[in-house]
C-alpha cells in the first residue's frame, strides 16, 4: 500500500466542532459491545484485510473489539486516511441502512477482533435496542454530512456552468445528500479532465472514481452508477406506500414504519418536496433560528430509515388499479408494486408562466427554488423573483446575500395580503431589495442563457428591460394527481377530495378505501410545513384502521 496521505475528508473532519464532530466519532460502551456480540458474529482479521471498498454492492457494519481499521479515501497520490477506527468504535454511514454502496474503503490497519453485523441485523438492533440505535444513527448521519462537505471525488459532475443538464444533476445529488463535487468543464481543471478522458467540454458527464465515465446520464442513471438502490422488486408487497417525499410524506413514513408497517416511499425528484427547496423556514415550531427545508427533510428521512422504511428516488407513480387486497401502482420503470394502503403526498408541481422561451431557459437562468446551488448563479447580478408568498420572501432574503440586488415582482399593490408580516417588514427595510407592485415579467431575453427580462407595470403601462442572469418563479403550483384518475375524486383544480362528504371514511381518506391524501395535494389543506407534517403523522391511525378492516 502507498504511503498514506491526509485527504480532504480528514481535514473536514478535524475541523468539525460541536455536535456534528462529536456524533461522527462516538464509541460504544463495553455493555453495548457485549450486546452486539450476541447479535452479530465475532471474528479475527489480519492486518491488510479489505473489509469493503468502493464499488461493492453494499456497505458492511463492523465493530472493533481490539485492533484498528483505516477508513480510506483513495487518491492518485496515495491512500488518504479519512480516520482510524479503534476499540469500541464502529464503521459505516447512513447509506448502510438504505442499502447504498460504500463511498470509501475500509481496511484492517492492525490485527483486529471484530463484530460483523448484516444490514438487517443493524436495522433490527437499532429498532430493538434504542440506546445503541441512538449512537449508531447519530454517527451515521454526521458522517454523511462530513462526506458532503469533503468534496469527495467519488462522483464528479463535469460540465459547463449554467448548463441545464449540469444544474439538474447537481439538484439531484445535492438534494438527495449524495456526496459529490462539480468541476466546470471550461475551467483549467475541467479542460484538463475533459482532454484526459476524451470528453467534449460542452457536454455534461459524470465521472466516478477510477475515471469511469457515465456519459450524459439522467438522474436514475446517476443513482445506478453509484449504487443508490432505486429498484423495487416487480410484484413486491407493502402495507403502506407513500407517494411523495415532502414533509407530509416523510412524516407518514416515520409513523408508519415506527409502528411496524412495511413502508415504501417513492418520489420523482428528491427528498423534501417543495419544502426541500426552501433556504430557510423560520415559523416551524422548535427551530427558533430557522432551518432549511433540505435539513428538515433529511432529518425526517433518517428517522424513517431508522425504523425500516424504504426510499426509491427518483421513481414516479404512473398509474393505479385495484388489486386483490388493495392497490397496484405502476412505476415509471415498468415495475408494478402491490400495497394494502396508499398515502398520497405527491404535493404539487411548480406553476409555469406563459412566456415565450420559458422552457429554453429553465435551469439556464430560470429557477423554481432558491438554494446554495442557484445562488452561485446570482453573483454580482440583479435577481428577479416573481411571487408574493412566504417562499418568495425567504428566497429574497437569502439571495440578497449573494446578488447585487433583488427585485420582487407582484401583481398586487403590496405584499400585505399574501406574506407573513415579519417577512414583509424585513423586505421593506432591506436596501438590497426592491418590491415592484402591479408588475409582471412579460418577456425573456438571451441566447443559450437568460440575459435580461422585460418588466411591465400594469398600472401605468411602463416597461423596463432589466439585465439579470437569474429569474425565480414562485407563484404557486398545480397538483400531481393525473395518475389517480379515474379512481379518486378530485376538485376542479385537480386537488384530491377527502373526508366523509366526499366518500371517505375518515377526514383524510379519499373516495377509494385505503387511499389517503395529506399535505398540499389535498383539497382544502393549509399550505404550511407544520400542517403537512401534522397530517402525515395523523393519517397513519386511519391507515391502521383500514388494515384492521381488511383483516376482518
Give Cβ neighbours of residue 18 (< 8 Å, ≥ 6 apart): none
182 falls within a domain: yes
In this structure, the answer to whether residues 221 and 144 fall within a common structural domain is: no
SS (H, E, C) 239-294: EEEEECCCHHHHHHHHHHHHCCCCEEEECCCCCCCCHHHCCCECCCCCCCCCECHH
| pLDDT value at residue 153 | 66
Q: Are residues 214 and 290 in the same domain?
A: no
Q: Domain check: are 12 and 135 in the same one? A: yes
Residue 2 lies in a domain: no
Bond preceding residue 486 cis, omega within 30 of 0: yes
Domain end marker among 225, 247, 279: 225
What is the C-alpha to C-alpha distance for residues 345 and 445, in angstroms, rounded to an integer?
37
Q: What is the pTM of this model?
A: 0.84
The last residue of one of the domains, among 149, 174, 193, is 149
Q: Are 339 and 388 within one domain?
A: no
Q: Is residue 549 situated within a structural domain? A: no
- Confidence (pLDDT) at 19: 62
DSSP assignments along 158-215, one per residue: EE-TT-HHHHHHHHHHHHTT---EEEETTSHHHHHHHHHTT--TTS-EEEETTTEEEE
> Do 162 and 80 reside in the same domain of the chain?
no
Residues 195 and 271 both lie in one domain: no
Q: Are 28 and 87 contained in the same domain?
A: yes
Identify whether residues 210 and 268 lie together within a single domain.
no
List the pLDDT tens digit at each of the 552 positions of the chain.
Answer: 333 334 444 444 444 445 667 888 889 999 999 999 999 999 999 999 999 998 788 888 999 999 999 998 876 555 678 889 999 999 999 999 988 889 889 999 999 999 999 999 999 999 899 999 999 999 999 999 888 887 666 799 999 988 999 999 998 998 888 889 999 999 999 999 999 999 999 999 999 887 899 999 998 899 888 888 777 889 999 999 999 999 999 999 999 999 999 999 999 888 888 777 777 888 888 888 888 888 999 999 999 999 999 999 889 999 999 988 899 999 998 999 999 999 999 977 778 899 999 999 999 999 998 888 898 888 889 999 999 998 899 999 999 999 999 999 999 999 999 999 999 999 999 999 999 999 999 999 999 899 999 999 999 999 999 999 999 999 877 898 999 989 999 999 999 999 999 999 999 999 999 999 999 999 999 888 899 999 999 999 999 999 999 987
Residue at 432 is within a domain: yes
Do 181 and 68 share a structural domain?
no
Q: Which three cell numbers stand for residue 436?
A: 415592484
Q: Are residues 91 and 106 in the same domain?
A: yes
Backbone φ and ψ for 524, nearest 5 degrees, come out as 85, 5
CATH number at residue 257: 3.50.50.60
Q: Which of 225, 247, 281 is a domain's end point?
A: 225
| Contact call for residues 544 and 536 (beta carbons, < 8 A) | no
Q: Are residues 220 and 271 in the same domain?
A: no
In a domain, residue 420? The reply is: yes
- As beta bridge partners, residue 158 has 183, 205
CA 87 to centroid of chain Cα atoms: 34
Selection from 372, 413, 373, 367 nearest residue 392 by Cα? 367
* Residue 548 placed within a domain: no
pLDDT at residue 283, rounded to an integer: 81
CA distances, 370 to each of 54, 294, 339, 347 (Å): 33, 11, 36, 18
List the domain range (segments joined by +) for residue 204: 155-225
For 27, 50, 304, the CA distances from 71, given in Å and listed in that order, are 16, 10, 27
* Structural domains of the chain, count: 4
| Alpha-carbon radius of gyration of the chain | 25
Q: Is residue 500 part of a domain?
A: no
Task: Supply the CATH number for residue 189's domain.
Answer: 3.40.30.10
- Furthest CA-CA distance within the chain: 81
If asked whether residues 514 and 375 sit together in one domain, one would say no
Amino acid at each position: 500500500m502507498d504511503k498514506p496521505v491526509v485527504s480532504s475528508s480528514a481535514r473536514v473532519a478535524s475541523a468539525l466542532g460541536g455536535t456534528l464532530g462529536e456524533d461522527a466519532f462516538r464509541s460504544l460502551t463495553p455493555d453495548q459491545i457485549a450486546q452486539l456480540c450476541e447479535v452479530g458474529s465475532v471474528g479475527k482479521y489480519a492486518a491488510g484485510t479489505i473489509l469493503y471498498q468502493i464499488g461493492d454492492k453494499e456497505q458492511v457494519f463492523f465493530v472493533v473489539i481490539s485492533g484498528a481499521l483505516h477508513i480510506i479515501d483513495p487518491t492518485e497520490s496515495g491512500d488518504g486516511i479519512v480516520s482510524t477506527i479503534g476499540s469500541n468504535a464502529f464503521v459505516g454511514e447512513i447509506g448502510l441502512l438504505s442499502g447504498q454502496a460504500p463511498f470509501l474503503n475500509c481496511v484492517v490497519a492492525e490485527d483486529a477482533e471484530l463484530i460483523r453485523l448484516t444490514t438487517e441485523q443493524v436495522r433490527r438492533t437499532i429498532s430493538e435496542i434504542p440506546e445503541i440505535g441512538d449512537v449508531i444513527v447519530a454517527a451515521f448521519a454526521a458522517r454523511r454530512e462530513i462526506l458532503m462537505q469533503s468534496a469527495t471525488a467519488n462522483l464528479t459532475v463535469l460540465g459547463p456552468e449554467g448548463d441545464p443538464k449540469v444544474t439538474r444533476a447537481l439538484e439531484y445529488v445535492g438534494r438527495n445528500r449524495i456526496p459529490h463535487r462539480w468541476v466546470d468543464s471550461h475551467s483549467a481543471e475541467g479542460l484538463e479532465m475533459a482532454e484526459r478522458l476524451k470528453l467534449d467540454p460542452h457536454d455534461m458527464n459524470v465521472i466516478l472514481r477510477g475515471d469511469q465515465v457515465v456519459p450524459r446520464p439522467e438522474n436514475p442513471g446517476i443513482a445506478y452508477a453509484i449504487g443508490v438502490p432505486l429498484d423495487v422488486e416487480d410484484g413486491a408487497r407493502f402495507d403502506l406506500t407513500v407517494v411523495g417525499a415532502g414533509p407530509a410524506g416523510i412524516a407518514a413514513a416515520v409513523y408508519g414504519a415506527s409502528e411496524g408497517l412495511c413502508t415504501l416511499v417513492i418520489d420523482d425528484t428528491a427528498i423534501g418536496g417543495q419544502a426541500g427547496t426552501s433556504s430557510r423556514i423560520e415559523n416551524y415550531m422548535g427551530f427558533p433560528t430557522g432551518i432549511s427545508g433540505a435539513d428538515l427533510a433529511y432529518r425526517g428521512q433518517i428517522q424513517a430509515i431508522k425504523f425500516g422504511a424504504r426510499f426509491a428516488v427518483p421513481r414516479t407513480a404512473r398509474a393505479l388499479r385495484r388489486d386483490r387486497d388493495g392497490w397496484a401502482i405502476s412505476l415509471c420503470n415498468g415495475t408494478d408494486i402491490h400495497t394494502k394502503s396508499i398515502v398520497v403526498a405527491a404535493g404539487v408541481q411548480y406553476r409555469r408562466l406563459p412566456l415565450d422561451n420559458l422552457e429554453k431557459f429553465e435551469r439556464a437562468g430560470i429557477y423554481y427554488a432558491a438554494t446554495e446551488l442557484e445562488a452561485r448563479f446570482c453573483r454580482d447580478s440583479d435577481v428577479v423573483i416573481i411571487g408574493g408568498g412566504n417562499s418568495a420572501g425567504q428566497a429574497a432574503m437569502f439571495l440578497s446575500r449573494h446578488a447585487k440586488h433583488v427585485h420582487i415582482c407582484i401583481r398586487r399593490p403590496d405584499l400585505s395580503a399574501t406574506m407573513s408580516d415579519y417577512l414583509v417588514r424585513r423586505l421593506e427595510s432591506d436596501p438590497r431589495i426592491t418590491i415592484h407592485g402591479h408588475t409582471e415579467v412579460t418577456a425573456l431575453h438571451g441566447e443559450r442563457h437568460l440575459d435580461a427580462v422585460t418588466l411591465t407595470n400594469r398600472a401605468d403601462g411602463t416597461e423596463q428591460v432589466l439585465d439579470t442572469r437569474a429569474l425565480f418563479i414562485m407563484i404557486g403550483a398545480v397538483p400531481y394527481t393525473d395518475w389517480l384518475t379515474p379512481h379518486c375524486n378530485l376538485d376542479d383544480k385537480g386537488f384530491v377530495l377527502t373526508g366523509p362528504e366526499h366518500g371517505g371514511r375518515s377526514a383524510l381518506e379519499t373516495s377509494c378505501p385505503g387511499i389517503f391524501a395529506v399535505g398540499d395535494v389535498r383539497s382544502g389543506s393549509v399550505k404550511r410545513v407544520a400542517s403537512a407534517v401534522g397530517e402525515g403523522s395523523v393519517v397513519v391511525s386511519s391507515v391502521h384502521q383500514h388494515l384492521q378492516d381488511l383483516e376482518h
